[in-house]
Chain A
Amino acid sequence: EVQLVESGGGLVQPGGSLRLSCAASGFTFSSYWMSWVRQAPGKGLEWVANIKQDGSEKYYEGSVRGRFTISRDNAKNSLYLQMNSLRAEDTAVYYCARDQQWLGNGFGYYYGMDVWGQGTTVTVSS
């Protein structure tokens, strides 16, 4: 069964740090881009970051750039999100997701997040 399982969420004080993990199984993890997506309480989805198969390319949403670091360990089939300088507005459920890709119409690939974890909750509060 294709599966993603997040862990590492919890309560942290403003300015603190947290490291999220995502364990992948049931597919060849090293063949896919991977993403983190978050959802604040009662709010919509927000893409946070993604990482290329070999870790050579990483992209970040503006509000987390410089504070969050996405990484992966293909030998362990695991994705990570190191979150530093946390703020109250980072409070959310954090999902990891697999970035499926399909050949595009001459302008690169189409991407869509086709497998999601169940999410892990991060609460930033004093």
Chain B
Amino acid sequence: DIQMTQSPSSLSASVGDRVTITCRASQSISNYLNWYQQKPGKAPKLLIYAASSLQSGVPSKFSGSGSGTDFTLTISSLQPEDFATYYCQQTYSTLWTFGQGTKVEIK
């Protein structure tokens, strides 16, 4: 199975900060990489697919980049509603896997 590793596992940031989360795959996955946001007690929400394509309705402050094994999710200016846990997911293989998550907390 393809292992996905996110870093950091958690971070503290202030409103207005630019935040970057990294996801690394155990083998090349081209750009078959998604990002999700999950708030406590809620279902996840798709933010980015194909590494850099913004899902419909998602604000442009979210952006994704990368290809091969290394990917990033960037939030350009953190707002109160962005404090959540973020997950990457690969769909390159038929057995999909998620990263362990990055919790973004208020500083």
Contact, CB under 8 Å: B95 / A61:
yes
Query: Which residues of B sit under 8 angstroms from A44, Cβ to Cβ?
Result: 85, 87, 98-101
Q: Decide: A45 and B87 in contact? CB cutoff 8 A.
A: yes
Residue in A35, A100, A117 whose Cβ sees the most chain B Cβ within 10 Å:
A100
Task: Give which listed residue, A35, A62, A112, contacts B1 with CB less than 8 A.
Answer: A62
Cα-based distance from A117 to B44 in the complex (angstroms): 9
Chain A residues with CB below 8 A from B55, complex form? 112, 114
Does B49 lie within 8 Å of A102, measured CB to CB?
yes
The distance in angstroms between the C-alpha atoms of A104 and B32, with both chains bound, is 9
**Residues of A contacting B60 in the complex (Cβ-Cβ under 8 angstroms):** none
A27 within 8 A of B: no
Assuming the contacts A102-B50, A112-B46, A119-B43, asked whether A45 and B95 have C-beta atoms less than 8 A apart, the reply is no
Cα of A100 to Cα of B87 in the assembled complex, Å: 17
Q: Residues of A contacting B79 with CB < 8 Å? A: none
* Those of A33-48 within 8 Å (CB) of chain B: 35, 37, 44-47
Assess A59 versus B95: contact at CB under 8 Å? Given A45-B87, A102-B53.
Answer: yes
| B74 interface residue per 8 A CB criterion | no
Is A31's beta carbon under 8 Å from chain B?
A: no
Decide: A45 and B101 in contact? CB cutoff 8 A.
yes
Least CB separation from B99: chain A residue: A44
Scan residues 1-60 of chain B and give those whose CB is less than 8 A from a CB of chain A.
1, 30-32, 34, 36, 38, 43-46, 49-50, 53, 55
The 5 closest A-B pairs by CB, nearest first: A116-B43, A112-B49, A47-B96, A44-B101, A110-B50
